[in-house]
Structure 1
């Protein structure tokens, strides 16, 4: 296992490189080049390791392209999902980057070739467009070819300098961690727009553990609003590979973020046949709808976005929304994502979804959907967490845990918003592993803890108009100072007597002076 110090040193260096090479270009706009270069180096080294197969006599980077046979290419693409010729490897391109007058066009041709190598193979959709955002002709790199090449060379050389060691498991982990670190830093610096595609690692850990809790194995794990894939990857990090049998699935509406998610999968050594990230609008054009249901679902969908809702009369008959008998409001699609996730969940599965807190107490269609969820006993736990955990919003969000295999008719409420459940870090709050463990212990035991956790019979929730707000059931601790009224009155009486005596003494002094 790679040491924490080594990771920190690498992260500090890579962030310095990212800032140094971008010059005056905004970091958010420049992220594609740094992330893309890191990805390019990773797949080059990963592919080299595969071709060499541990044989020290083979030095793939120095083999001539012309000796590569069609059989070698076919076998490699079937296994790895893509092919890279020796001359196209990162190490060879970076070697001459500073002196190559055609660097930007050479890179473009290489990226196109890598993507095209998968054409006609099962991996085609997983590889297509991976480098689309690494636009080597972009004016963000400069206004002239010289300027573009200079900045591209600086990026490649900077990434080349990073010491990942030999390409073994621990170093693969370093690549993935470096990528996640970069995405996280870009998201933090981008504010709201960053929060739209990246869920902070500590929140991802909690979500993944909730969805996977006590499941010895799951068929596959799914995120309907995948972002950069951080939630899915936390499941991989915290559970042995054999536990997630068929792999990682997700859908993302933003094309750039979709590419980030696919790169993220590769960078965490997930082969193309073990993930399927689809591009598109989950609510309007859902993928995987005909697949067998998922045993684990994790999601941090966008909060209160608009959607077509009942303007599309066919949606009320959609298998995802029809059981509730009502659609989520057009101005707030939150419950549309919840019902979508529920419909994709297997009978043994569990879904953990980050939600805007308003959906748990507002009336109208949202109340009717809550009624459907409670009456059918799908709500296992609702957890309110601390404010300011996410990038770009200080909202104290709520985590909804859905289950189709509950053994009782109670709903658990956990208030994890207090100071015992987070620590302050610069401009944000964060949950440490200890905080996450505390929440998971409460979730597992279902024990009532005063001012923190309580399980309520669903009939009581029905009597309360299906209000699912945590604060409606977990009584907040009264931190006010208790005052003994009798003692206070005695003190006031003594004080009044002292004032009266002082007033008498002052009057006597005044009389003496006047006399």
Structure 2
């Protein structure tokens, strides 16, 4: 089966699971995503376990019925196989196999059997596969999912198992990032929206994520720490890890949303980054940053990517941030609480300062910011840009096309920080690129072609000067322009000179004079007509 065919089959599986939910009253229900993502994950780790076991034991691989061959193993032999598995493979007992559930589906209280299976797997693998909260509480892999169904829970669980049993991931574990990115996006497309919760339940377009990763990572790097303080479902981190190499980096993240943290965990499992799951934290990064070193100082990272929420009401804890301990982290200040529209508080400025504070000595970062940030003439925005220039830690800026994010009309730019770049800075104005497509009745989105993505990336990385597209400027140039990071303000104003004869010049001049005289006559006529009309109205 080709990759394209398997991708189609996988999407059909996802659709069939959603159909089961809809048939049991859970269509568009707030809990549907919990069921779909957990069931999908259960199937994936079940098949991954089988795949790895077959690699370890040729007899099982050759057996006509691998389940029976594996169940026939003695307890000692089974345990020996478990010890040989790499840590990225979840440990599963024979009675936890989907095939075992399939065989037991007609037993009384099957919903409990199904739920207990998931809970047992979660407990057995809690050390490596759990997300943690700020307080240190573990959020395990699975929960009791049949509780979300009001009636016919046994029937619901039977329907789920019957959808899973005829499908296998076994033949695609060799696939890499692009395949899983497509599957992950399809899996969560109905659930990864900004549903009123806080922080990063936004889906960053892959074009933006790709540009950020490829402009950030140059050459071969290894043993690096990557961080996103508002990670959402992890699109930026996955692209960054793929660019570096999944086995050459460790992922760290924090996000206040439980849903986002669970989706990120799923993304890590799909992309062979299980070793990073213990570093995924559910909590408020701005108020209580979690990742600290042995001296209780904020941990520093080699690469940071972020698409933080731009505006959000954080007035309920704003004053808790304004303390001496945060003076260095929030060096440019903390936005005040406005008398109106608290929801417009610029929380992204806190994330940006937190990122700058969290960079290692040679650290690099890419952050999505409102384009207004790069030219603001005062306030926290200006102070941040001044610090970036003063400390010589800028790599450049790419201003993106409008509507690159379908969910917001805010124009965005990507700010690149590089603490090692003491030389020139590249500014790219890509606002004119892309093709606009309609997303729904209200929104449209701008899509970049692969050629346009590559044009941005190559121009940025090579620090090329392209007329009306990119400039390369010094830190002194930026200071002279009041710290503006807008490429357009540095473009040369070009005046085209055309050689014409004296006769042509006189003819053109006379033509302009004639046109102006005609306009003046029309203006005088209109003034008379208006005055007459006003007099007529007055006499009435």
Q: The TM-score by the shorter chain falls in which range?
A: 0.7 to 0.9
Q: Which residue of 2 aligns with 1:283?
A: 286
The reply to whether residue 235 of structure 1 matches residue 249 of structure 2 is no
Change in Cα spacing, 1:165 to 1:475, as seen in structure 2 (3 Å) is: farther
User: Structure 2 residue aligned with 1:376, among 391, 409, 423?
Assistant: 391
Quick one: distance in 1 between partners of 2:167 and 2:47? 13
The reply to whether residue 293 of structure 1 matches residue 307 of structure 2 is no
1:154 CA drift (Å): 3.4
The reply to whether residue 257 of structure 1 matches residue 267 of structure 2 is no
Quick one: distance in 2 between partners of 1:265 and 1:476? 49
Q: Which residue of 2 aligns with 1:511?
A: none
SS of equivalent to 2:224: coil
User: Root-mean-square deviation (CA), in Å?
Assistant: 3.9
1:57 CA drift (Å): 1.6
Q: Which residue of 2 aligns with 1:137?
A: 147
Q: Is 2:194–2:202's contact at 8 Å kept on the other side of the alignment?
A: no
Change in Cα spacing, 1:241 to 1:254, as seen in structure 2 (3 Å) is: closer
1:278 CA drift (Å): 1.4
Q: Which residue of 2 aligns with 1:87?
A: 95
Which ranges of structure 2 fall in alignment gaps of 5 or more residues? 338-344, 496-503, 519-540
Higher relative contact order (CA 8 A, sep 6+): 1
1:196-219 CA-partner distances (Å, limit 9, x unpaired): 242222222122222223353351
Quick one: distance in 1 between partners of 2:190 and 2:411? 21
Q: Which residue of 2 aligns with 1:266?
A: 269
- Within 5 Å, give how 1:359-370 maps onto structure 2: 359-362=373-376, 363-370=378-385
**TM-score, with normalisation over the residues of structure 2?**
0.76
Change in Cα spacing, 1:313 to 1:152, as seen in structure 2 (3 Å) is: closer
Q: Is 2:305–2:365's contact at 8 Å kept on the other side of the alignment?
A: yes
The reply to whether residue 466 of structure 1 matches residue 483 of structure 2 is yes
Q: Is 1:388–1:429's contact at 8 Å kept on the other side of the alignment?
A: yes
- Within 5 Å, give how 1:62-461 maps onto structure 2: 62=68, 63-64=70-71, 67-69=74-76, 71-72=79-80, 75=83, 79-80=87-88, 82-94=90-102, 96-97=104-105, 99=106, 101-118=108-125, 121=127, 128-132=138-142, 135-138=145-148, 141=149, 143-144=150-151, 146=152, 148-162=153-167, 164=169, 166=171, 168-170=173-175, 174=179, 177-187=182-192, 196-217=201-222, 219-242=224-247, 244-245=248-249, 247-272=250-275, 276-290=279-293, 293-307=300-314, 311-312=319-320, 315-318=323-326, 321=329, 324-329=331-336, 331-362=345-376, 363-408=378-423, 410-418=424-432, 420-422=433-435, 424=437, 426=439, 427-461=444-478
SS of equivalent to 2:427: strand
Q: Is 2:98–2:164's contact at 8 Å kept on the other side of the alignment?
A: no
SS of equivalent to 1:227: coil
1:75 CA drift (Å): 2.9
1:78 CA drift (Å): 7.9
Quick one: distance in 1 between partners of 2:116 and 2:221? 45
1:86 CA drift (Å): 1.1
1:95 CA drift (Å): 5.4
**TM-score, with normalisation over the residues of structure 1?**
0.79
Change in Cα spacing, 1:326 to 1:85, as seen in structure 2 (3 Å) is: same
Q: Is 1:197–1:257's contact at 8 Å kept on the other side of the alignment?
A: no
1:368 CA drift (Å): 1.8
1:125 CA drift (Å): 5.2
SS of equivalent to 1:27: coil
Which ranges of structure 1 fall in alignment gaps of 5 or more residues? 479-483, 498-515
Change in Cα spacing, 1:115 to 1:8, as seen in structure 2 (3 Å) is: closer
**Number of residue pairs matched by the alignment:** 478
Q: Is 1:94–1:160's contact at 8 Å kept on the other side of the alignment?
A: yes
SS of equivalent to 1:368: helix
Quick one: distance in 1 between partners of 2:335 and 2:93? 51
SS of equivalent to 2:281: strand
Change in Cα spacing, 1:192 to 1:235, as seen in structure 2 (3 Å) is: same
